[in-house]
Amino acid sequence: MLDLLRQSWPWYVAGPLIGLTVPTLLLIGNKALGISSSLRHICAACVPAGIPFLNYNWRAEAWNLFFVLGIAIGGFIGYRLLGHPAAVGISPETVHDLKAQMHLTDFSGLVPHELFALENLTNWKGWVFLVLGGFLVGFGTRYAGGCTSGHAISGLSNLQWVSLVAVVGFFIGGLLMTWVIYPMMF
């Protein structure tokens, strides 16, 4: 059984399992799946400043905070018990294109060391960057009414027009970056 859990699952298994989470939550407890909304709940609980956006009964949505905590704990346990030591599978065509466009043999330069180095957590600048950056990303997702995966998974499954517009916008932005802007940079 552990061998089955340790290997990568194909998209046609993992995708429907993630997608079925939305109707399951709706059927079991009339709850909408949302991760980015947890930041709003935390701010409403911790910042009683009379801000209209944070003035609501956050306790009624406390289940969402436990849901997010469970995801974090489950991810940690899953990594520790079921960690997959193999490298992430990238298609040979992608590796060839990256090598040709960027003249790279080592892909570690694609991730800025200044952002993702563990040493950043040993100084106050790293923590400010991490906390401020996390807050801005969280605020942006709440301002937009959800994150990319939230609009794509929950919003589309609930037939929300705004989510369809958002997902189409995400894809257009991704295609423009991949096929127009990125090639001009290198």
Q: State the pTM of this model.
A: 0.61
Q: How many CB atoms lie within 10 A of CB 31?
A: 15
Question: Does 142 fall in a domain?
Answer: no
* Tens-place pLDDT, residues 113-145: 666 677 777 888 778 878 888 788 777 777 777
Question: Does 30 fall in a domain?
Answer: yes
Instruction: Reduce the DSSP state of residue 87 to 3 states and report it.
Output: coil
Domain range for 59 is 1-86
> Quick one: which of 81, 91, 88, 93 has its CA closest to 8?
88
Question: Does 181 fall in a domain?
Answer: no
Q: Are 171 and 60 in contact (CB under 8 A)?
A: no
Question: Does 12 fall in a domain?
Answer: yes
Number of domains in the chain: 1
The residue ranking higher by pLDDT, 78 or 49, is 78
What single DSSP character describes residue 54? G
